[in-house]
Amino acid sequence: MPFLGQDWRSPGWRWVKTEDGWKRCEPFSPALEDGNNQLNDISHTVIITGDDENEEVYSAEDCEFAAKKRKKDHFRNNMDSQCFYREKWIYVHKESTRERHGYCTLGEAFNRLDFSSAIQDIRRFNYVVKLLQLIAKSQLTSLSGAAQKNYFNILDKIVQKVMEDQYNPRLIKDLLQDLSSTLYILIRGVGKSVLVGNINIWICRLETILLWQQQLKNLQMNKQVNNGLTLSDLPLHMLNNILYRFSDGWDIITLGQVTPTLYMLSEDRQLWKKLCQYHFAEKQFCRHLIPSEKGHIDWKLMYFALQKYYPIKEQYGDTLHFCRHCSILFWKDTGHPCTASDPNTCLMPVSPQHFIDLFKF
């Protein structure tokens, strides 16, 4: 829930979901608590080092300062890996109240929702990449300095995952292209636009993006060695059924380049007609009819022509969800401390664009 503290002036407790229900978690990890306790015990003693002739005596104040510094360094080091926040949800508030001061920003939400772990889940990978692409196009300057650092750390992990697994390199190439175009404009317009951080940092980031683009360009797909059943061994009706499951035209074209049989199936007019009808309304593709040489409608060309004018439907294996009762944004499998009698009726899936719109005031 957004506020669970005993005192209305306090920020409230933090809660974590367990098998036995929701439990309150402490602000520091057990390892850090043990380290702090050790330092606190030492701070009440006198430490003597060196030889007997040259003794250096450190007071309790010096040891207390060292303990505080250790806490600060621990939190700073954990910011990159998002270990500072245990809960994977955030309360979205758009106005300041007596109980909560300030607003929930895009950068704050980006830091709190654990996108570093989300990219390791194949169901969420495309969702996170699409979200990063939308931020790169229009919302990059609205991120705080910590959120921008987190953004590029997550982007680095995505590139490394694609390089290792060869999973969906076309998607990350589009993201890097949009990001590099945005950075070119922002770096040229220094003084006119808001860039958080030194200009040299942004130039280094741009150079890193260009290096990533070169690495993805030279990416070689590993040849799979299969001793059993392969895709070519499947009957035609099963291959055709697989093609009808695709929602992206470029995926159909790519699969059609594998074998001559798949190429023949990927050129089926009915397949592209179904794809057009899925993504676009009848009024939309009636305005852009493209007849072929035989007088029939060329649905394949129609699909790519309509894609330039209208947005296509987006499909994701898993998305963020918003609870209308609690005004909390969260991943569905992690849950949140909901007080509604029937929480499932309050849930609403959040698309990447809707995520951006939630933080526009």
Q: What is the pLDDT of residues 183-233, one digit of tens each?
A: 888 887 665 566 777 788 888 899 999 999 999 988 877 666 566 777 778
Q: Say if residues 290 and 324 touch (Cβ distance below 8 Å).
A: no
Say how far apart CA 311 and CA 88 lie, in whole Å: 30
DSSP category for residue 87: S
Take residue 23 and report the two structure tokens written for it.
Answer: 């439990």
Section 332-349 average pLDDT: 84
- Count CA atoms within 13 Å of residue 152 on its CB side: 19
The answer to whether residues 187 and 264 belong to one domain is no
The answer to whether residues 263 and 181 belong to one domain is no
How many distinct structural domains can be found in the chain? 2
Q: Among 218, 235, 267, identify where a domain stops.
A: 218
The answer to whether residues 163 and 210 belong to one domain is yes
The answer to whether residues 259 and 188 belong to one domain is no
Single-letter code of the amino acid located at 138: S
CA angle in degrees (0–180, nearest 5) for 168-169-173: 130
Take residue 190 and report the two structure tokens written for it.
Answer: 């220094």
Handedness of CA 117, 123, 124, 125 (dihedral sign): positive
Query: Which residue, chain included where needed, has tokens 């998607």?
Result: 171
The confidence score (pLDDT) of residue 42 equals 40
The confidence score (pLDDT) of residue 92 equals 84
Q: Say if residues 182 and 234 touch (Cβ distance below 8 Å).
A: no
The answer to whether residues 286 and 211 belong to one domain is no
Section 65-84 average pLDDT: 50
Say how far apart CA 242 and CA 265 lie, in whole Å: 10
Instruction: For residue 118, tell me if it sits in a domain.
Output: yes
CA angle in degrees (0–180, nearest 5) for 176-181-182: 100
Please list, residue by residue across 162-175, b when 16 or more beta carbons sit within 10 angstroms of its beta carbon and e when fewer do.
beeeeebbebbbeb
The backbone torsions φ and ψ at residue 118, rounded to the nearest 5 degrees and listed phi first, read: -65, -35
Q: Give the range among 178-192, 260-274, 341-355 with minimum mean pLDDT.
A: 178-192
Count of other CB atoms within 10 angstroms of residue 286: 9
Say how far apart CA 84 and CA 29 lie, in whole Å: 9
Helix or strand (DSSP H, E) at 322: strand 320-323
Instruction: For residue 289, tell me if it sits in a domain.
Output: yes
The confidence score (pLDDT) of residue 97 equals 60
Q: What is the pLDDT of residues 152-164, one digit of tens each?
A: 999 999 999 998 8
Single-letter code of the amino acid located at 13: W
Give the three-class secondary structure for 36. Answer: helix
Instruction: For residue 223, tell me if it sits in a domain.
Output: no
Q: What is the pLDDT of residues 86-111, one digit of tens each?
A: 677 888 876 656 555 556 788 888 88
For residue 339, give Cα distances in angstroms to 11, 14, 58, 178.
18, 15, 52, 41
Give the bridge partners for 290, in sequence order.
Answer: none
Q: Among 309, 332, 352, identify where a domain stops.
A: 309
Query: Which residue, among 60, 26, 69, has the nearest Cα to 41 in the 3D structure?
Result: 60
Query: Which residue, chain included where needed, has tokens 């296509």?
Result: 312
Give the three-class secondary structure for 18. Answer: strand
The answer to whether residues 170 and 270 belong to one domain is no
The answer to whether residues 200 and 130 belong to one domain is yes
Q: Quickly list DSSP for 111-145.
A: HHS-HHHHTTSHHHHHHHHHHHHHIIIIIGGGS-H
Instruction: For residue 208, tell me if it sits in a domain.
Output: yes
The confidence score (pLDDT) of residue 191 equals 59
Highest mean pLDDT among 12-16, 43-47, 60-64, 211-215: 211-215
The answer to whether residues 120 and 212 belong to one domain is yes
Say how far apart CA 79 and CA 69 lie, in whole Å: 16
Section 169-180 average pLDDT: 91
The confidence score (pLDDT) of residue 55 equals 41
Handedness of CA 78, 79, 82, 84 (dihedral sign): positive
The answer to whether residues 134 and 197 belong to one domain is yes
Domain range for 283 is 248-309
Q: Say if residues 296 and 309 touch (Cβ distance below 8 Å).
A: no
Instruction: For residue 66, tell me if it sits in a domain.
Output: no
Q: Among 294, 309, 324, identify where a domain stops.
A: 309
Q: Quickly list DSSP for 215-242.
A: HHHT--PPPP--SS--GGGS-HHHHHHH
Instruction: For residue 235, tell me if it sits in a domain.
Output: no
Identify the residue with better confidence: 245 or 32. 245
The confidence score (pLDDT) of residue 312 equals 80
Instruction: For residue 9, tell me if it sits in a domain.
Output: no
Instruction: For residue 10, tell me if it sits in a domain.
Output: no
The backbone torsions φ and ψ at residue 313, rounded to the nearest 5 degrees and listed phi first, read: -70, 145
Q: Give the range among 52-56, 144-148, 239-243 with minimum mean pLDDT.
A: 52-56
